[in-house]
Amino acid sequence: MYVADEKRYEKMEYRRCGKSGLKLPAISLGLWQNFGKGSSLANAEEMCRTAFDLGITQFDLANNYGHPYNGSAEESFGMILDNGLRAYRDEIVITTKAGYEMWEGPYGDKNGSRKYLTASLDQSLKRMRLDYVDIFYHHIFDPDTPLEETALALDNAVRQGKALYVGISNYNSRQSAEIAKIFKELKTPFIVNQPSYSMLNRWIERDGLDKWALENGVGLCVFSPLYQGLLTDRYLKGIPEDSRIGKGNTWIKSELTPEMLDKLNRLNDFAKGRGQKLSQLALSWILSNKAVSSVLIGASRPQQIIDNVNTLHSLALGEHEKQELEKILAD
């Protein structure tokens, strides 16, 4: 039987999610890849246990994770919970999302309708054998559904006791502000937005989402911090066959140009100068943004999780270092 590391909370930094009372680990584990059907359940379980032993308390899922077997990541996580981790349920933040295509017909397609969101959450709870999730997100803005309907569906999940907090994902600053007004009227515990963000993908800065989040007490839990693996040392000397690009599992290959390789190697040299790996530098850079409550990492093996958590042992980026990085990123 699994017994968690007694010193797990000494290894992690915890940040308040916006102005809410909920604290999230600076680094959280996302179960998008390598946790669904076709992946090793034993490896997935070892990754979850490794994460929790390192103080990672947030496990992030979505109804469609495990594609093409939608829902299979949640099913796997339910089995992992049953095999020892469920004993620590009150120490764990479990999140799930709904918004993308999920099942056949007009009620399971990409949308934010009350019918779809309600049915999807019920399915997610059954797959993971949970009474509630800690955060329930609308996964992507739906221009064809009134925001009031989407907000009411999320609010209803809280009132039914199926979620403790609600969040949104892939919403820009304008869309976030609009739905936040509705949540405020409903007194819904809306605490977080989940956007993509990395040194190579800074749209939230251009859009002003990070500034809006800070000013309005909403946390940011960001995903794809390593830009589909480019911000690691995997591609510095070629494309490994077992990598995402090597397997053809990502759109990012077109961006791996000679100019990008030069930039990545310069970033890698900068990281070495700090005693870090490139991936650790990428996480340090994100965590220097005060709007960020938590960074969602993905992993294919436990050692990657260990390496990423070790980021927290490195010195925070100084202003001079930030300036040097800006020069590299601007080229």
CATH code at 189? 3.20.20.100
Residue 260 lies in a domain: no
Q: 195 and 222 in contact (C-beta within 8 Å)? A: yes
pLDDT, tens only, 229-246: 899 998 887 666 566 665
CA triple 30-213-206, angle to 5 deg: 90
Supply the DSSP string of 234-291, one letter for each residue: TTTTS--TTSHHHHT--SGGGG--HHHHHHHHHHHHHHHHTT--HHHHHHHHHHTSTT
Q: Which domain holds residue 311?
A: 9-230+278-317
Residue 252 lies in a domain: no
Query: 3-state DSSP call for residue 71?
Result: coil
Q: Which two tokens stand for residue 224?
A: 């794809």
Q: What number is the average pLDDT over the span 66-85?
A: 96
CA distance 56 to 58: 6
165 pLDDT exceeds 90?
A: yes
15 pLDDT exceeds 70?
A: yes
Q: What is residue 229's DSSP assignment?
A: G
Residue 189 lies in a domain: yes
315 pLDDT exceeds 90?
A: no
Give the predicted TM-score (pTM) of the model: 0.95
Please state the φ and ψ torsions of residue 106, each to the nearest 5 degrees. Answer: -70, -15
Q: What number is the average pLDDT over the span 46-69?
A: 97
Residue 249 lies in a domain: no
Please report the pLDDT score of residue 314 as a whole number. 85
Spatial neighbors of 331 by CB under 8 A, at least 6 apart, are: 263, 266
Q: Name the pLDDT band for 316 (thresholds 50, 70, 90).
A: confident
Residue 327 lies in a domain: no
Strand-pair partners of 15 = 24
Number of compact structural domains in the chain = 1
Please report the pLDDT score of residue 1 as a whole number. 86
Cα distances (angstroms) measured from residue 324 to each of 126, 261, 318, 329? 49, 18, 10, 9
Residue 138 lies in a domain: yes
Residue 259 lies in a domain: no
Residue 120 lies in a domain: yes
Average pLDDT, the chain: 95
